[in-house]
Structure 1
Amino acid sequence: MNSFLSKWLSISILNLSFVAALGLILRYKIAYSLPFLDQKYILHSHSHFAFSGWITQTLMILMIFYLSKTLGKEIISRYYWLLYANLISSYGMMISFIIQGYGLYSISFSTFNIFAFYAFAIYFWQDLNKIKEKSTTKLWFKASLIFGVISSIGAFNLAYMMANKMTDQNWYLASVYFFLHFQYNGWFLFAGMGLLNDKLEIITGERKKLYRAFQLFCFACVPAYFLSILWLESITNIYYVLIVPVAAQLAGWFVLLKVCNNNRSMITQKITKHGKILLLLSALAFSIKLILQTGSIHPELSHISYGFRPIIIGYIHLVLLGVTSIFILGYIVSFELIRINKLLITGIIIFVAGIIINELLLLIQGVAAFSYTGIPYINEMLLGAAIILLTGILIMLISRFRIYEKEHRLKKINSI
């Protein structure tokens, strides 16, 4: 088993447990009370660490491993300092946001984190160019890096507004959605698609269709940002123009699904049973996301969706947990990038169950909000979902530590 992946993916799962623990605190504060902790500070810590400490860190690890398969294991050492830089700055953000919210230390760590990503983007781009073979995978990865860099514009603008106590609500929300869009519809999505495309090209050989899917998604990414800010009166006249990027995304997804369906038997032979289920769940979540995004073109639906907090929270969690996190775990399990055992699978099952319960509860809360109807004990039930999520991750973590300890002992014995 690859020692690089074993160590660093174990750290990623540890980071995911911190994300879940912060989410649990947020839910507890809503249901009950923790007066000595500021809700907004915990929320900033939770969201920033989820993006950088869990998803970005793990995507970096998997992308570096992709390079090592072509350019040799020696390439990994070139990235160690970047992984540590991202990790340290992520921990710095997690702690400093809890203590002070947006302030000197949290903004400094956030800035350091962004520049660490810039360095990763430069390094990875250079190394991708060393791979002579033409591949759509390289295009997915390059686009992901570009969109990741673009997303930082929103982050810098937010930091500037917070530091200068600017209170323009529309500008603030537009910056938030700018960062979010180019993170999860840009960096996260395109990096994940790059990892998936690498496997699909090898298994199916359908390079032309996979390239067409990339073209459609890439074309749609930038204009699709305006779907996030349709509540701004200044752009209400572009609703129907946005049908084009929405249609492009749907067409791109249809092409990918068709490739997978046409080569179903070959793909099934190359991935594990549990990995297949996880990837299918991630695909289902992504399909739901695209359907909701399509519905947001309608003016009334757009205003309704952005007017109710449970709907926004449910959508963000659908993307970050249902699509991205399940995909990452599914990808790791599908191709057995770490040692898989029953305890790890049990943890993943509980974690996924927690995601499904959480999304269903948020859906119920969101629908009820339309008629301003309160759901009895909804906050306590959401707290229960958060406990299930954390429990699943802790079981995964125990599994990883046991395996890592065993691998470490075997390594010592073999070196004697």
Structure 2
Amino acid sequence: MSLVLHRWIKLTLINLLIVAAIGVALRYKIAYSLPIVNQKHLLHGHSHFAFAGWISQAIMTLLVAYLAKQKGESILKKYRWLLYANVVTAYGMLVTFPFEGYGLFSITFSTLSIFVSYAFAIQYWKDLNTLETRYISHYWFKTALFCNVFSSLGAFSLAAMMAAKISHQNWFLAAEYFYLHFQYNGWFFFSCMGLIVAKLFNSSSPVILKRIYLLFAAAIIPAYFLSALWMDIPLWVYILVVLSAVAQIAGWGYMLALIKNKALSLNPLLTSTTKQLLTLSAIALSIKLLLQLGSTIPSLSTLTFGFRPIVIGYLHLVLLGVITIFILGYMFASGLISLNKKTGIGITIFVSGIIINELFLMVQGVTALNYFNVPYINEALLAAAVTMFTGLLLLNIGQKK
């Protein structure tokens, strides 16, 4: 691994640590008094930096690393300024959102972040087309790039409604969920699937891999309405939504069967730490897909979207349980993270914090259905946030050398 790439990986891990630190502050604000912090503004900074500074920055770096492996490390110079630009816009949002919420400077940085994603998508798409060998993983990458660009329609719709002072709540939610869906179910998920397919299967099983890709690709647009079932949608759209949920489960089932059939040949490629992380990510994804299918039942959909703890728990399941754990597992598998005693302890503590956090959020969500407040639940969630931060701090210290 080149020194340049190593530095970018270290930066993404530092960004993840910052995300966790803000998470601790947010949980402390809920459990105790912290008057100097505007909860809503800090939450915006937390979410925007988590998307741009951690996940998008990590994915961009890993995609560039894949390209460097195919074309040589000289390609890193071409993407250096795009990676720098994404970091600058991410830190701009981190600094401005907590102080002004949606204001001139924060909106400027978030808009520039979208334009950086456009430039990255165009450049990466062109470079993929120059590769002599076309793998199935490239379909995943291109769909991910498309979803990243497409998601910005939701962000610009929100901006337009705010500028026009339109206060229709359903329209706001529809635009917000549009952006979120094509980010975490599109850009994040398809990038991760492309990376794991490239890592394990690029030279084998083209038929079944193409089938898996087509099932997920066909479902991505109608699956948006899984996040918008509270709207009054036509029956034919609802049928497409159900079919998209089934298609994703079918595609994931094919993927699990493929991994099982090739388990013996995959064992030498993965360390025990990598296997454990990828297994946890796979379990989280399985839960997520089953929850999606369950949400197509109208009565369940009304309940889930009506209670904030359930929505937060679902988002954390996807962003932490599926995406973050996968990215860390992939970094371990690719030798991009040093595996030592501190790193091992750190990743164990961090993953434990994620599991504890999800369990507490689940308890909070289920009891909220009965309008019951669990004693000390906010303190427990703060403890989970501190646990995740502690694990990431050890993980970062383990990379110092």
TM-score, normalised by the number of residues in structure 1? 0.94
- Aligned equivalent of 2:331: 332
Counterpart contact for 2:9–2:336, Cα < 8 Å:
no
- Are residues 29 and 236 of structure 1, via their aligned partners in 2, closer, same or farther at CA, if it must alter by over 3 Å? farther
Counterpart contact for 1:221–1:245, Cα < 8 Å:
yes
SS in 1 for 2:181: helix
Determine the C-alpha separation between the residues in 2 that align with 1:167 and 1:289.
31
Counterpart contact for 2:49–2:94, Cα < 8 Å:
yes
* 1:320 correspondence with 2:319: yes
SS in 2 for 1:233: coil
Counterpart contact for 2:222–2:240, Cα < 8 Å:
no
Counterpart contact for 1:102–1:163, Cα < 8 Å:
no
Unaligned runs of 5+ in 2: none
> Alpha-carbon deviation of 1:140?
0.5
Unaligned runs of 5+ in 1: 404-416
Counterpart contact for 1:155–1:176, Cα < 8 Å:
yes
> Alpha-carbon deviation of 1:124?
0.3
> Alpha-carbon deviation of 1:341?
1.2
- Aligned equivalent of 1:408: none
> Alpha-carbon deviation of 1:75?
0.7
- Aligned equivalent of 1:113: 113
> Alpha-carbon deviation of 1:235?
4.7
Determine the C-alpha separation between the residues in 2 that align with 1:246 and 1:385.
31
Trace 1:229-244 onto structure 2 (pairs within 5 A). 229-235=228-234, 238-244=237-243
* 1:5 correspondence with 2:5: yes
Counterpart contact for 1:92–1:109, Cα < 8 Å:
yes
Trace 1:220-235 onto structure 2 (pairs within 5 A). 220-235=219-234
Give percent identity, aligned residues only: 51
* 1:274 correspondence with 2:273: yes
> Alpha-carbon deviation of 1:164?
4.2
- Once the two structures are overlaid, the 10-residue window that deviates more, 342-351 or 138-147, is 342-351
Q: In the TM superposition, what whole-angstrom CA distance separates every residue of 1:361-409 from its partner, at most 9, and x where no partner exists?
A: 0000111011111100000000000000111111111111x21xxxxxx
Determine the C-alpha separation between the residues in 1 that align with 2:235 and 2:384.
37
- Aligned equivalent of 1:145: 145
Counterpart contact for 2:92–2:106, Cα < 8 Å:
yes
Counterpart contact for 1:151–1:178, Cα < 8 Å:
yes
> Alpha-carbon deviation of 1:134?
2.2
> Alpha-carbon deviation of 1:237?
6.9
- Aligned equivalent of 2:81: 81
- Once the two structures are overlaid, the 10-residue window that deviates more, 238-247 or 300-309, is 238-247
Paired amino acid for 1:276:
K
- Aligned equivalent of 1:397: 396
Paired residues, number: 401
Q: CA RMSD in A?
A: 1.2
- Aligned equivalent of 1:133: 133
Q: In the TM superposition, what whole-angstrom CA distance separates every residue of 1:297-317 from its partner, at most 9, and x where no partner exists?
A: 000000000000000000000
Determine the C-alpha separation between the residues in 1 that align with 2:233 and 2:387.
43
> Alpha-carbon deviation of 1:334?
1.9
> Alpha-carbon deviation of 1:236?
6.8
Counterpart contact for 2:218–2:244, Cα < 8 Å:
yes
- Aligned equivalent of 1:409: none
Counterpart contact for 1:2–1:337, Cα < 8 Å:
no
> Alpha-carbon deviation of 1:165?
3.7
Determine the C-alpha separation between the residues in 2 that align with 1:232 and 1:358.
30
Paired amino acid for 1:270:
L
SS in 2 for 1:239: helix
Counterpart contact for 1:272–1:335, Cα < 8 Å:
no
